[in-house]
Structure 1
Amino acid sequence: MASLYRASKSLKSHRVPFNLLHINTKPLRFDTAAYLNPIFGWTQCQFFASQFREDPSIDLNQFPSDRIRNFSIIAHVDHGKSTLADRLLELTATIRKGHGQPQYLDKLQVERERGITVKAQTATMFHRHNYLGTDANFLLNLIDTPGHVDFSYEVSRSLAACQGVLLVVDAAQGQSYEVSDVGIMHPELTQTGILLTGQVGYVVSGMRSTQEARVGDTLYQTKCTVEPLPGFKPVKHMVFSGLYPADGSDFEALSHAIERLTCNDASVSVTKESSSALGLGFRCGFLGLLHMDVFHQRLEQEHGAHVISTVPTVPYIFEYSDGSKLQVQNPAMLPSNPKMRVTTCWEPTVIATIIIPSEYVGAIITLCSERRGEQLEYSFIDSQRALMKYRLPLREIVVDFYNELKSLTSGYASFDYEEADYQAADLVKLDILLNGQPVDAMATIVHRSKAQRVGRELVEKLKKFIDRQMFEITIQAAIGQKIIARETVSAMRKNVLAKCYGGDATRKKKLLEKQKEGKKRMKRVGSVDIPQEAFHELLKGS
């Protein structure tokens, strides 16, 4: 980034008349060098002129690299990271005490409603300190990171730019872009015109798509020779779900909303897909269930999108008798009656580390056993705390494991996991049929031992949300050709005998038989509308 310094004299306050190249680097490893900070400019990709606040009193030239400190705040959820960030902003006079609302750096509505940090936020602070017997001005770059395990990607790339942390305890083808603005977050966007070595800030470029660059790419001035940064490990998606517009005509609006949102959340993968039940939509990959839930909420709050989500799933591998393998991210893509026999099924697993008060050990052992967990370690940290390690199928923890863990331990459990190998499992595809027709958006993959229970729960939930029609609706759960659960929504019946006052019973019987035949025809050709609430209910557990 030293090249930015050489170009600083030609910079203007609202337009920067020089080009930057960026290099898409191969993701070799995490790099912990202290001066990778400028890459964080890519975490904010869309800026508007109304957000800029120019401060002519800021002179970044007075801060050489030995007067810059880059640090992050790391802790579990609800341990006060954002509150500590508020106090630091006040102590350095970056904001006035009591100014604005608490958790000042939590900008998203979903963050304020849930009381969690979703996106890592950066704030530049200035502080005068006695250093080696002399009062000196220091530039402090603070990164407030998320605490939930779903957002560990945000934390990992934050650490790569830090010299230290506050731990709260209890090369490819380059592309040319014109830069229109450079500045720092103070903590609002503040134009400075330059960024020097070791400084953290933002760069506004002429990129039109998030696919043109990713976090970890190297920016450098045109005609300069630089060694690209090593970049970051590509994110590995743990949960997949389909997103469809509630109204089919809103597909383009949803597409635009997802594109804008992924500009600010590069850890989401998006591919187009179609469903016979829901029409055109998107198959999205997320880091976890909370990450998926937050993404949905941001779509609705920030972009006014109304979406239907399918049941979340994880990537499976199916091996057939001819030796071929199929990776399945969408259960609908797995044939219910394949021509070739499935010989082996593989599911992803994780190594989960759980720290709990000793009195909850029995309940947690039962929970992990119900989730098909294999105990790897069980020890006591001290007289009051126990540590357990389990190998768990990823599918068993992506839906409601974390919430149940917190509930059983009154919120005192600490939970983290890391990816492990695939393991063989007896898996089956569970189809939901409405009047004999499969609903592809409701298909799921489950362990055979749980298929009966899951199928029964799904059909019972659907019965509560599907409205009665003039014809009977049969709801079935099936594994291949075998029906394992069934519920029936009875038809609304018109009183065809209302005008029959007495008379021969034969005429009444004839009218009832005629009505019965008519309902059979309606059942064959009638379509069943599935309300959004039914899909939302399925998301709560399967």
Structure 2
Amino acid sequence: MKQTHIRNFAIIAHIDHGKSTLADRIMEQTKTVSERESKDQLLDNMEVEQAHGITVKSRTVRNYYRADNGEEYDYNFIDTPGHVDFSYEVSKSLAASDGAILLVDATQGVQAQTVANFRLAKQNGLTIIPVINKIDSETADVNTTAQQIRQLDPIFNYTKILEISAKTGQNVHGVLEAIYQEIPAPTGQLEKPLKALVFDSLYDPFKGIVAYVRLYDGQLKAGQHLKLMADQTGFTSHEVGVFAPDMKQSKQLSAGDVGYVVTGLKDPQLIRVGDTLTESNRPADQALPGYQPAKSMVFAGFYPKDDHYKELKAAVEKLALNDSSFHYVEETSDALGPGFRCGFLGMLHLQIIRERLNDEYQVAVLTTAPNSTYQVYLKDKRVETPLIVTNPVKFPDFSKIDYVEESFVKAVMTTPSASLGPVMRLADNHLGTLLDMNNHGDLVELVYKLPISEIAYDFFNELKSESHGYATLDTSFLDYELADVVKIEVHINYAPVDALDVIVHRQDAEKIAQGIVKKMKYTVPRRLYPMPVQAFVEGKSIARIDVPPLRKNAAVNGDKRSISKKQQLLRRQNVNKRQAARSDIELPQEVFNAILELD
């Protein structure tokens, strides 16, 4: 295919605005898939995507389109997620695209993630085609939606806004025509050394690491000696091809193409998304700028159930390759044994990773309570740099701490004006500081500074509840600031359980500690004797409750003749209790979930 007839584009939209449905219609009308192969949300092939009705992992597919002018075009469509937790996947897709379709639901209008993705596409210098979807709905307000789109950027006052129904296929043909008419063809020279952006990757158990690439210069063939410019990792390409939508082998890829290369590499650590691929014997002069690596916002521990550590390790390594925004390091817990401290973009990201481990790799994990990052400055002046703490277990003893700084994010919340009051109260209750406020038609954009620890649990769901589902959230790391935080240590049956430790603000410590021990009463597995659950802060117990025993307590009313036997039984129970105080305590996931469910 001539380079002038190639178009690389993405679809950007808020969650549930019809992006996956439009992708299905494009593949149907370009005959990329047959009627037999066609199904709803064809590109959302993971179980978690179909279960939640969202796109988690970006996909790529090549479509061949015969235009009304008689010419045939290559449409390389790079899918994007819509949820805020997966905005990093959006940035990867846009880095490999030359244009984007901005899709807006006519029944909901412009939403916060619509605005965020539009700005990201504009920063990448992409040509943007505005499209209004769901015009066939009875509640559609096309005129108001078009007005909101024009308010996003003055250029849309001079741009035709397409009106479609992705569900029925109405006017989708007009979108296909606009793609080659509006989005520019890629530029690049075949004669130059190979220069390709690795914008995604996956692990195949038989082929090894498969890199998704967008070629900017040169050609890529099987059997070439290649290298990644960041780490100078060398390998020989085993196979190249395109996605149609499954991997389809081809003879070569040329400048402007989007496809894949089978590297044959088995170590997931050897390839990095955002790197530049070139030839070993004729390398490119300069690497592509790539994009910033994902920054984890929330951290939690993953530990295997039933001592399946090797299986968990293999699954985590492969999953990290398939999801470059998922980070992990090995760690060991006194209570749960070896495991991993994992970094996520948000709570939904954490939930999706857990489900993927279970669905794709059949590995069940125990997940500890999530937390954010802290910088701890010690009283020992010989230690000049702060201690970076992402695991409460690593939080130093309070006697050694000079002061602590916690991580903050800039949270951009867009909400209908009717929900402005409840949303602002929610942010204030989570220690937010208002930085800015802007109006976008019927929407109000609030910019807050918020501690990550305050939004790590259920903030997004609370925001949805307060705004009746219409407000959205976009976060970016801001800085570290001074904070008065303490570590709550949980002891069960006089034995510390480090996996249950949490770091909280001092003002909330007593309330949270009381909530933890009460939850433990109903979730910790019972034994034949009562077990105390205590919460300690700075060496002092501030909350306690007893987990009831399985059997009836010996200290019950009875006649005097049985008192001596009861006293003997109580003494034996007390001895057993003390002897078992340091024994292993097997905790189910419900114990850790109880902490997440605290008010």
Query: TM over 0.5, yes or no?
Result: yes
Letter in 2 for 1:534: V
Contact 1:497 1:511 in 2 (8 A): no
- Report how far residue 326 of structure 1 moved: 1.2
User: In the alignment, which residue of structure 2 is the partner of 1:258?
Assistant: 316
- Report how far residue 76 of structure 1 moved: 1.2
SS of alignment partner, residue 97 of structure 2: coil
- Report how far residue 494 of structure 1 moved: 6.1
For the pair 1:165 / 2:165, whether they are aligned, the reply is no
User: In the alignment, which residue of structure 2 is the partner of 1:531?
Assistant: 588
User: In the alignment, which residue of structure 1 is the partner of 2:378?
Assistant: 320
- Report how far residue 409 of structure 1 moved: 1.1
Cα gap change, 1:156 to 1:497, in 2 (>3 Å): closer
1:362 is aligned, of 416, 421, 425, to 421
Query: CA-to-partner distance for each residue in 1:416-439, whole Å, 9 max, x for gaps?
Result: 122111111111111111122221
1:139 is aligned, of 66, 74, 92, to 74
Contact 2:485 2:503 in 1 (8 A): yes
Query: 1: distance between equivalents of 2:592 and 2:256?
Result: 48
1:126 is aligned, of 30, 54, 64, to 64
Cα gap change, 1:524 to 1:231, in 2 (>3 Å): same
Contact 2:520 2:547 in 1 (8 A): no
Q: RMSD over aligned Cα, in angstroms?
A: 2.1
SS of alignment partner, residue 184 of structure 1: strand
Cα gap change, 1:360 to 1:437, in 2 (>3 Å): same
For the pair 1:400 / 2:400, whether they are aligned, the reply is no
SS of alignment partner, residue 96 of structure 1: coil
Query: 1: distance between equivalents of 2:312 and 2:555?
Result: 50
Comparing 271-280 and 357-366, the one that deviates more: 357-366
Contact 2:519 2:595 in 1 (8 A): yes
Query: 2: distance between equivalents of 1:482 and 1:376?
Result: 38
Cα gap change, 1:539 to 1:67, in 2 (>3 Å): same
Query: 2: distance between equivalents of 1:220 and 1:403?
Result: 44
- Report how far residue 386 of structure 1 moved: 2.1
Query: 2: distance between equivalents of 1:463 and 1:115?
Result: 36
Letter in 1 for 2:79: D
User: In the alignment, which residue of structure 2 is the partner of 1:38?
Assistant: none
Query: CA-to-partner distance for each residue in 1:7-43, whole Å, 9 max, x for gaps?
Result: xxxxxxxxxxxxxxxxxxxxxxxxxxxxxxxxxxxxx
Query: 2: distance between equivalents of 1:322 and 1:386?
Result: 47
Contact 2:516 2:598 in 1 (8 A): no
Query: 2: distance between equivalents of 1:535 and 1:214?
Result: 33
1:489 is aligned, of 528, 547, 551, to 547
Contact 1:310 1:539 in 2 (8 A): no
Query: CA-to-partner distance for each residue in 1:110-162, whole Å, 9 max, x for gaps?
Result: 000000000111110111225xxx53211111011011111111111211111
- Report how far residue 293 of structure 1 moved: 0.9
User: In the alignment, which residue of structure 2 is the partner of 1:331?
Assistant: 392
- Report how far residue 329 of structure 1 moved: 0.7
Structure 1 segment 261-280 matched on structure 2, within 5 A:
261-280=319-338
Query: 1: distance between equivalents of 2:88 and 2:417?
Result: 31
- Report how far residue 469 of structure 1 moved: 1.5
For the pair 1:308 / 2:369, whether they are aligned, the reply is no
User: In the alignment, which residue of structure 2 is the partner of 1:520?
Assistant: 574
1:81 is aligned, of 15, 19, 44, to 19
Contact 2:513 2:543 in 1 (8 A): yes
Query: 1: distance between equivalents of 2:13 and 2:551?
Result: 60
Query: CA-to-partner distance for each residue in 1:73-112, whole Å, 9 max, x for gaps?
Result: 0111111111111111112121235743201111111000
Contact 1:336 1:429 in 2 (8 A): no
- Report how far residue 257 of structure 1 moved: 1.4
Structure 1 segment 86-485 matched on structure 2, within 5 A:
86-97=24-35, 99-130=37-68, 135-169=70-104, 170=109, 171-172=229-230, 174-227=232-285, 228-248=287-307, 250-323=308-381, 324=383, 325-338=386-399, 340=400, 342-382=401-441, 384-485=442-543
Cα gap change, 1:479 to 1:497, in 2 (>3 Å): closer
Query: 2: distance between equivalents of 1:108 and 1:534?
Result: 28
Contact 1:177 1:205 in 2 (8 A): yes
Query: 2: distance between equivalents of 1:389 and 1:95?
Result: 44
Query: 1: distance between equivalents of 2:343 and 2:99?
Result: 31
- Report how far residue 375 of structure 1 moved: 1.1
Cα gap change, 1:370 to 1:98, in 2 (>3 Å): farther
User: In the alignment, which residue of structure 2 is the partner of 1:32?
Assistant: none
Letter in 2 for 1:509: I
Contact 1:150 1:287 in 2 (8 A): yes
Query: 1: distance between equivalents of 2:569 and 2:241?
Result: 74
Contact 2:554 2:570 in 1 (8 A): no
TM-score normalised to structure 2 length? 0.75
Contact 2:515 2:598 in 1 (8 A): no
Query: 1: distance between equivalents of 2:64 and 2:555?
Result: 86
Comparing 317-326 and 438-447, the one that deviates more: 317-326
SS of alignment partner, residue 291 of structure 1: helix
Query: 2: distance between equivalents of 1:365 and 1:231?
Result: 37
Contact 1:246 1:532 in 2 (8 A): no
Q: Structure 1, unaligned stretches of length 5 or more?
A: 1-62
Query: 2: distance between equivalents of 1:116 and 1:214?
Result: 25
Query: CA-to-partner distance for each residue in 1:327-346, whole Å, 9 max, x for gaps?
Result: 101001113444x2x23211
Query: 1: distance between equivalents of 2:79 and 2:356?
Result: 20
User: In the alignment, which residue of structure 1 is the partner of 2:563?
Assistant: 509
Cα gap change, 1:206 to 1:149, in 2 (>3 Å): same
- Report how far residue 193 of structure 1 moved: 2.2
Query: 1: distance between equivalents of 2:376 and 2:408?
Result: 15
Query: 2: distance between equivalents of 1:155 and 1:81?
Result: 13
